[in-house]
Structure 1
Amino acid sequence: MRAVVACLTWVFVVHAAAAQDAASTAAPMPDAAESSGPVTWELIQDDPEAARQAMSRRVDELLERRAADANVELAAIADDAEFLRRVFLDLTGAVPRVSQAREFLDGSSPDKRQRLIEHLLASPGHATHMANTWRNIMLPEGFAAEQITNVAGVQNWLRMQFVENLRYDRMVSDFLVATGGGDTGPALFYTAQELKPEKLASATARIFLGLQIECAQCHDHPFDRWKQADFWGYAAFFAQLRQPEMMNGQAVQLVDLERGDVTLPDTETVVPPRYPGTIDAVTDQRGSRRVQLAIWMASRDNPYLPRAAVNRVWAHLFGRGLVQPVDDLGEHNPPSHPQLFDELTHYFVDTGFDLRELMRMLTNTQAYQRTSAVADDPATAVELYAAMPVRPLTAEQLYDSLMRALLRQGASNAPAGFDNPLFDPRRQAFVARMQSRSRSALDYEAGVPQALMLMNGVEVAESVNSSNGLLAALEAPWFNDPQRMETLFLATLSRRPNSDEQAMFLEHIQTAEANNATERTAALGDVLWALLNSAEFAMNH
């Protein structure tokens, strides 16, 4: 039944190899400025649009200079189809609908990429995808199915911040001082860490500061500057946090007491609160310790928060951070492009800690819009951001893309006011089965589970043998076979078939129809199954 897959291996290799030629037909982009210089605060205030364009050119300038120094050739600009699929996955977490793909690919406006980016950043799907991404970062590994309502509380809170495009420094500050009640999301983060100062110190430093200070919990850090007293000085900010006893059905509540300290494990010496990277204890008694920490987090005196945010956004879009791992920005682990990292951080701060603006500026760069198809030394090209990487879809991206491509809707038993995807039992089961052994949201890797799920999973099996969904829609009499083929490709790969693919698949369908007119749907199911099992569908490229 699936013999057509044997031909697919050759076809998709040919398609990938030809991507560089196709990229030459992409809409032209302006050349990066030869020496534009850093973008100034004054320009950002006077003309934000000009500042954004200048910063995009500056990113390209610094990356191109580094690639030239290493004698690495820049990849071509991706064609419209490659860019379309990539930006939908990165900004909304799923492939485009057929109608969206057709509209973009058929458009002739020279600024259609810029307009698509604006549309996606303002869409509800962007807020949901960002909330899903940050929820995976914030919650500890394994904190999932058995805590679904709690997880949804965190997701809903995050989603509202992204809908409103709240300043990132304000979002972190609000997160840290949450007391529960109406702000159940942040409060549930605290309970997920069992309100233990050492766990909260490790988690918040990793998430918000990009620092792995947990090695200093029991002894001085062997590779970084952090001493044991630094770790416990930071943990002291959470030492006075308590959760009152609750009646059944009550929302989580948090209170800050006026007492509570941490001590060094070996000496029992009380450690006063101290901000990371400083030597003086915090003696200001205005507000709780968490309030004092939140004020410092959102201040310009905090050198870590904006750098950590910039590094995470860069990794989200480019596949790896300017510092890797993304949560290890210690002095022992310098950035790959120091000047670029510094200038991006200044831009982020000067534009008001605006995550959406940072993504807008970066997705408009030539660097982001380059193809992933390179002939020579792709690893080095990707490392220097001279080409885009090929990345496996996350479990959530894969499920949501399957549902969209197949015109299916997940089931939901969500309570009123909750984000529906988290309450889709099929989605939950799919994501759980696709988890890597480490269960780490930061280190997801595709492999055997993904391959088996696509080949034999119930979602795909039902859809390629279904009387509803995409295949049923294609039975409409106004479709001819070439149009059906085009729709299958647009739904799954966000592009039209090339001439070789068109000829091969049409022959398969017409052979089936010649044997039995009712076999056309089965033949279309074969093609759909093959497309869903292709590397091109399973990857973000």
Structure 2
Amino acid sequence: MAMPALPIACLSGQPPSRPTALLRGLMVRASLCCAGGLLLGFAVGLPAGRVSAADAAASTRIEVSTGEADGGPVHIIGTEGRRQLVVSAVPAGSDAEKSRDVTRQSVYRVEPATLATVTPEGVVTPTADGSGEIVVTVSGVPGLSEVPETRLPLVVARFGNDPPVEFYGRVVPVFTKFGCNSGGCHGKSGGQNGFRLSLLGFEPAEDHEHLVKEARGRRISTTAPDESLLLLKAAAVVPHGGGRLIETGSPSYRLISRWIAEGARPGDATAPKVVGIEVFPTIRVMHPGQSQQVRVMALLSDGSREDVTPMAQYEVNAPELASVDKSGVVSAAERGNGPPRSGVAALMIRYQSQVAVFRATVPLESPLERMPAATTFARNFVDNHVLDNLVSLSLPPSARCDDATFLRRATIDIAGRVPTLDETRTFLEDSHPAKRDQLIDRLLDSPDYADTFANKWSAILRNKRTDDGLHRHGSYSFHEWIRASLQENKPYDQFVRDVVTASGEAGGNPATIWYRQVVDTNQQVEDLSQLFLGLRLQCARCHHHPFEKWSTEDYYQLSAFFSRIGRKKGAQPGEDQIFHNRGTPQAAGPKGTHPAAVLGGKPAELAADVDPRVALVDWMTAPANPFFARSLVNRYWKHFFSRGLVEPEDDMRLTNPPTNPALLDALAADFAQHGYDLKHLIRTICRSNTYQLSAEPNEFNAEDRQSFSRFYPRRLPAEVALDAIDVLTGKQTSFAGVLAGTRSIQLPDPNFGNYFLTVFGRPNGDSACECERVSEANLAQSIHLINSADILGKLGGDGRASRLTGDAQHDDGSKIAELYLVAFSRPPSLEESGLVQKYLEGHADNRQSAYEDVIWSLLNTKEFLFNH
């Protein structure tokens, strides 16, 4: 577990004023994980029902995927046609996803041999018109000594009679494949070295103009295609800043050369367009060192299919688990010498404006007996889905955390504070079997729950004063409205409806403050999509989204729902009154005006006197909406587990799939079925055994960062950390402009200056992204905790150290126990108690200073600063 170490020496050049030896001792004893971890006690052996390797191999069957939708003959059209075969060894009785790729362990021949050739990589290339068969024989697979030949019908047509090369459909993909039109090359704004292409080829008409007509046409020579600067640069015949991208005579080179020779035409507007891509396979279990060939078929508007495997772009989201080459071969990482690693790697595949995903599940090789049974592990459906995933990864979970850990964890996550001394003592002494569930209910019913999640929502709804005198009332009112909505457990769909359709002014409807912060339609559509749909549409404002299916048309059609918002001065200075301005909703985009339409939908038919925002929210909150519920449950999952099922939590695009799709779907469905009840969702998550797992890794899951086989420790949020320090030291931080005793988590907006909150990463409320909150530990935080005047001031005076010193009714042992119960929600071990007792006895002449030293040491431990 990678935990940042606190520096012991003060880096300012001044000696630390506190005893670092004591701190070292307590930090060693309050670490969050041990080298061995907690091991689950299961016998090691052959799992029940598992067959021997020889029997498994003998029962394996061979399947050859050709890319034909109907399973008919392989059809290859034209001289430049090709087809990638994918050959799989499928174990008997196993799911297809457990198939092993044997494409490169197969032998191919064509009958008749004059019809086509097949490379050792399984690529079929035509050589003449006609029909025949491709014969596939698998060799080199252990246990497959007698494998029958697989015969595939093959038809080749129009060989040597190719239609003219279509610029957008054939040439532009070459530029995309080799990165010519990427954001780091000619596709960036302003181009590169005087030559500009549209980003990823989304504006082919502009690209043709730049290529053929700019620079006096010197980039293209239709009379001598191979002398064209375009080819000379790409093949590095003449110096090229990007180096050699294509080889002279390669298929891509020949394609561009032929397009130039044919007159470098812009293309046929009536030519079939790519309307989708299909990847095979979509998912595979891949053990370390194994590889898998994927094939990408483009689906065209005329119903035809074309193999575009060599021209598609590939990108893996987890390079520590898998890699991919330019031909679409995915390779699972070899097992190194470090801790074992498992998980799911997603391969993003892009061709033109279409995207698809292949998922590689990389399991461990741990014996299945180490996995707990569902009957003992699962407390609700969350655990069933988590365990199913862990079983597929052969990844044993950690043990259940102890009561003290759960108490502190749940109280921090739900109530935004550490448990009180009385809460801790009562909970640890309670023997009721349902006490954890009862704790969750108490926390959800407490005002602290509303404070905590109001702090969260206020930040991402951008609630902050930009002018203290004019905006104080509105910002405070909006924060209180959010808090009251959470306290009463307002259904989430109603909460969103109230914000998005807000009209009036802050005095009567505080939710209108959102429109003070997001003023124009671009901000409104982008914040709405990111906050409530989990979609980042910012890219689509200027061009087709590079990682999604959303176009600029989709962006501006959604934006049109906000086009009829009117504003006028409100009764309160500095606050606007928001109203619906009658008229037809439409938005002006770069290439014209767009009517209002939901994502993936047709233009909405809206009367001029109907507020289009109502129709938008009706679509958003409908049970069939594919984004709304999933976005919220993923956001809340991250709140409790440090990372979302989709990460980042508000980037839920097709090419960023969840690590556990079944769990995400189940949570979303349950959330919708229970009326978008936020407290029900939190109960479901926190009652699960998954949430209650220990943070201590076992011998298998130390490297797990996505499968939730253990709890992932995280630093306390800035507000929680400051409030916890206040509790431990007994000195309350005060803030100007609010009631005395107001805790950091209760502040109505971020415009309360406090260095601690700033350095510990409190969000500024400038965007809808939770990434504003900095959760990583850093050196400035350590220095502040160790030697700042702020922290040293809290330790002295009439705080907890002074009270303990003056308490004559309790011995040092009781006082030490109190400190540990307050700091860590657990009693000290005998070793810890002895260490502190010895330190106190050694400083009997100044007992208050000694207690200050102990408190200082405790608040600098990882156990205190992290939620674990």
Q: TM-score w.r.t. structure 2 length?
A: 0.55
Equivalent residues of 1:218, 1:228 under 8 A apart: yes
- Residue 152 (structure 1) aligned to one of 451, 465, 476: 476
Segment drifting more, 384-393 vs 282-291: 282-291
Distance, in Å, in 2 between the alignment partners of 1:540 and 1:471 is 28
Structure 1 residue 343, shift from structure 2 partner: 1.2
Computing the radius of gyration over CA atoms, which structure comes out larger, 1 or 2?
A: 2
Q: Name 2:512's counterpart in structure 1.
A: 187
Distance, in Å, in 2 between the alignment partners of 1:437 and 1:118 is 28
Distance, in Å, in 2 between the alignment partners of 1:396 and 1:263 is 41
RMSD, aligned CA: 3.0
Equivalent residues of 2:858, 2:864 under 8 A apart: yes
Q: Name 1:9's counterpart in structure 2.
A: 27
Distance, in Å, in 2 between the alignment partners of 1:157 and 1:532 is 34
Distance, in Å, in 1 between the alignment partners of 2:763 and 2:493 is 34
Structure 1 residue 135, shift from structure 2 partner: 1.5
Q: Name 1:347's counterpart in structure 2.
A: 670
Equivalent residues of 2:713, 2:867 under 8 A apart: yes
Amino acid at match of 1:478: Q
Would you say 1:95 and 2:431 are equivalent positions? no
Segment drifting more, 85-94 vs 431-440: 431-440
Amino acid at match of 1:433: V
Q: Name 1:288's counterpart in structure 2.
A: 611
Structure 1 residue 150, shift from structure 2 partner: 4.6
Amino acid at match of 2:640: L
Equivalent residues of 1:60, 1:365 under 8 A apart: yes
Amino acid at match of 1:520: R
Q: Which runs of 5+ in 2 are unaligned?
A: 1-17, 42-371
Would you say 1:240 and 2:580 are equivalent positions? no
Distance, in Å, in 2 between the alignment partners of 1:340 and 1:35 is 19
SS at match of 2:568: coil
Q: Which runs of 5+ in 1 are unaligned?
A: 25-30, 37-53
Distance, in Å, in 2 between the alignment partners of 1:540 and 1:98 is 17
Structure 1 residue 34, shift from structure 2 partner: 5.0
Would you say 1:216 and 2:233 are equivalent positions? no
Structure 1 residue 426, shift from structure 2 partner: 7.0
| CA deviations over 1:315-354 (Å, ceiling 9, x no partner) | 1111111111111111111111111111111111111100
Q: Name 2:522's counterpart in structure 1.
A: 198
Equivalent residues of 1:23, 1:371 under 8 A apart: no
| CA deviations over 1:457-507 (Å, ceiling 9, x no partner) | 444212222223454255211121011111111111111111211111110
Distance, in Å, in 2 between the alignment partners of 1:376 and 1:490 is 30
SS at match of 2:726: helix
Alignment of 1:34-113 (within 5 A): 34=375, 56-113=379-436
Distance, in Å, in 1 between the alignment partners of 2:506 and 2:575 is 5
| CA deviations over 1:99-122 (Å, ceiling 9, x no partner) | 111111121111111111110010
Distance, in Å, in 1 between the alignment partners of 2:618 and 2:484 is 22
Distance, in Å, in 2 between the alignment partners of 1:248 and 1:65 is 56
Equivalent residues of 2:718, 2:760 under 8 A apart: yes
| CA deviations over 1:416-467 (Å, ceiling 9, x no partner) | 9x98732698774432233389986435222123222322344421222222
Amino acid at match of 1:461: L
Distance, in Å, in 1 between the alignment partners of 2:464 and 2:550 is 25
Structure having greater relative contact order (Cα 8 Å, sep ≥ 6):
1
Structure 1 residue 533, shift from structure 2 partner: 0.7
SS at match of 1:77: coil
Distance, in Å, in 1 between the alignment partners of 2:445 and 2:393 is 38
Distance, in Å, in 2 between the alignment partners of 1:511 and 1:8 is 17
Equivalent residues of 2:556, 2:589 under 8 A apart: no
Equivalent residues of 1:463, 1:469 under 8 A apart: no
- Residue 527 (structure 1) aligned to one of 849, 854, 861: 854
SS at match of 2:19: coil
Q: Name 1:40's counterpart in structure 2.
A: none
Q: Report sequence identity in percent.
A: 27
Distance, in Å, in 1 between the alignment partners of 2:452 and 2:40 is 28
- Residue 391 (structure 1) aligned to one of 714, 717, 720: 714
Amino acid at match of 1:319: S
Change (3 A) 1:141 1:250: closer
Equivalent residues of 2:458, 2:482 under 8 A apart: yes
Change (3 A) 1:415 1:490: closer
Alignment of 1:412-423 (within 5 A): 412-414=735-737, 421-422=746-747
Q: Name 1:169's counterpart in structure 2.
A: 493
Amino acid at match of 1:525: E
Distance, in Å, in 2 between the alignment partners of 1:19 and 1:165 is 43
Change (3 A) 1:302 1:332: same
Q: Name 1:495's counterpart in structure 2.
A: 826
Distance, in Å, in 1 between the alignment partners of 2:475 and 2:816 is 40
Distance, in Å, in 2 between the alignment partners of 1:530 and 1:316 is 28
Structure 1 residue 390, shift from structure 2 partner: 0.8
Distance, in Å, in 2 between the alignment partners of 1:150 and 1:419 is 19
Change (3 A) 1:469 1:359: same
SS at match of 1:385: coil
- Residue 481 (structure 1) aligned to one of 799, 812, 829: 812
Structure 1 residue 375, shift from structure 2 partner: 3.7
Structure 1 residue 281, shift from structure 2 partner: 3.2
Change (3 A) 1:437 1:188: closer
Structure 1 residue 382, shift from structure 2 partner: 4.1
Q: Name 1:50's counterpart in structure 2.
A: none
Distance, in Å, in 1 between the alignment partners of 2:676 and 2:853 is 48
Distance, in Å, in 2 between the alignment partners of 1:183 and 1:248 is 11
Between Structure 1 and Structure 2, which shows a larger proportion of strand residues? 2
Q: Name 1:279's counterpart in structure 2.
A: 602
Between Structure 1 and Structure 2, which shows a larger proportion of helix residues? 1
Structure 1 residue 224, shift from structure 2 partner: 0.2
| CA deviations over 1:256-277 (Å, ceiling 9, x no partner) | 101475544432x221111122
Q: Name 1:129's counterpart in structure 2.
A: 452
Equivalent residues of 1:20, 1:76 under 8 A apart: no
| CA deviations over 1:83-133 (Å, ceiling 9, x no partner) | 111001100111111111111112111111111111001000001101101
